[in-house]
Amino acid sequence: MEKAREEVVRLYGNRLRIRVCGICIENDKILMLSHRGIGNTDTFWCPPGGGVQFEETIHDALRREFKEETGLEIEVGNLLFVNEFMEPPLHALELFFEVKITGGRLYLGFDPEMTDANQIIQEVRWMNFEDIKKYPANEVHSLFKYCDSLADIYQLQGYLGAHIENRSDRTIEQIAYS
């Protein structure tokens, strides 16, 4: 895990990133990815998505990220909400869109910015709300703390804000490698 965490910090740390994320719900299950090297455990579940590249539209970025991470082709729907992800040294503005699958085949994809030895995507899985709530809050995306069901995700709107636990007694290096 340590090498993956170091690579995450090297690639994404200490800068503000713009990310796009897709909410894909079918048959009362949401498509989720498990990552390593993010947070203080080796598990972090969140909807598929990633960084927007220079001169790439937001919709194109989301389609590319979905294809890379899940093998699926999607149609991008409405912007649902904006979240500010802040887990120093990581900081991102995340734009969450509703998406629909239009093609492809589901498989565990990859993050092309990461080396083969340090891939952070561990698993892709359809999860119901009860599956998500079985994990500790720090191992799933913070959007789920605002929901009592998957349907509630569609009621989220506007800016969800940044949620940082009190870390005044720890340095950024301690947080990044804890």
From 41, 28, 50, 4, select the one nearest 153 (Cα to Cα): 28
User: What is the Cα–Cα distance from 174 to 178, expressed in whole angstroms?
Assistant: 6
Rounded to an integer, the average pLDDT of 137-153 is: 95
* pLDDT band of 93, cuts 50, 70, 90: very high
pLDDT of residue 17: 94
- Return the SS3 of 42: coil
In one letter, which amino acid is 86? M
* pLDDT band of 173, cuts 50, 70, 90: very low
User: What is the Cα–Cα distance from 38 to 20, expressed in whole angstroms?
Assistant: 17
pLDDT of residue 3: 76
Q: What residues are paired with 103 via a beta bridge?
A: 73
pTM of the model: 0.86
User: What is the Cα–Cα distance from 123 to 114, expressed in whole angstroms?
Assistant: 16
* pLDDT band of 176, cuts 50, 70, 90: very low
Q: Give me Rg for the CA atoms of the chain.
A: 15
- Return the SS3 of 2: helix
Residue 141 has pLDDT above 50, yes or no: yes
Arithmetic mean of pLDDT over the chain: 88
Residue 44 has pLDDT above 70, yes or no: yes
